């Protein structure tokens, strides 16, 4: 607005009230294998880019849970699949294809 004042602020911030303690943690290798299994037909031979992995925390209802974020770049099914794997038991928390896709028709003018 012309007055230099904010009109809208958006945030996905969640306050953390605690951290889930785990006694055992799966390995990065296990997290990658589980992620590929959750994606479907993904395997080392079926990738179009290296697999990215990162250990961190995801906040659910104020509690920070330890997770592995694994991005699998699979040809079948095609996509860049971002998965969040529970670091304690290897269960899938979230899976999203982060590739952007578009379809359409049009004309190209070549003089």
Residue 2 has pLDDT above 80, yes or no: no
Q: Dig out the tokens for 74 from the structure.
A: 């699979």
Supply 107's token pair: 């004309």
> Could you tell me if residue 71 is left (phi over 0), alpha (psi between -120 and 50 degrees) or otherwise beta?
beta
Supply φ then ψ for residue 71, to 5 degrees: -110, 115
- Rounded-to-integer distance, Cα 69 and Cα 89, Å: 14
The residue with greater pLDDT, 109 or 34, is 34
State whether residue 53 is helix, strand or coil: strand
Q: Domain boundaries in the chain?
A: 18-97
Under 8 Å CB-to-CB from 12, ≥6 apart: which residues? none
- Does the predicted TM-score (pTM) go above 0.85? no
pLDDT in tens, 32-71: 999 999 998 767 778 888 899 999 999 988 999 999 999 9
Q: Which one of 1.10.3720.10, 3.10.450.40, 3.30.70.2340, 1.10.357.140 gives the CATH number of domain 18-97? A: 3.10.450.40
């Amino acid at each position: 607005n012309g007055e230099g004042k904010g009109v809208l602020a958006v945030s996905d911030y969640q306050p953390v009230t605690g951290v889930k303690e785990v006694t055992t943690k799966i390995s990065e290798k296990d997290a990658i294998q589980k992620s590929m299994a959750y994606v479907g037909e993904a395997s080392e031979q079926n990738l179009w880019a290296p697999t990215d992995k990162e250990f961190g925390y995801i906040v659910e209802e104020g509690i920070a849970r330890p997770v592995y974020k694994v991005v699998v770049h699979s040809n079948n099914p095609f996509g860049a699949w971002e998965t969040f794997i529970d670091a304690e038991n290897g269960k899938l928390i979230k899976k999203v294809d982060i590739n952007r896709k578009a379809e359409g028709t049009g004309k190209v003018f070549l003089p």
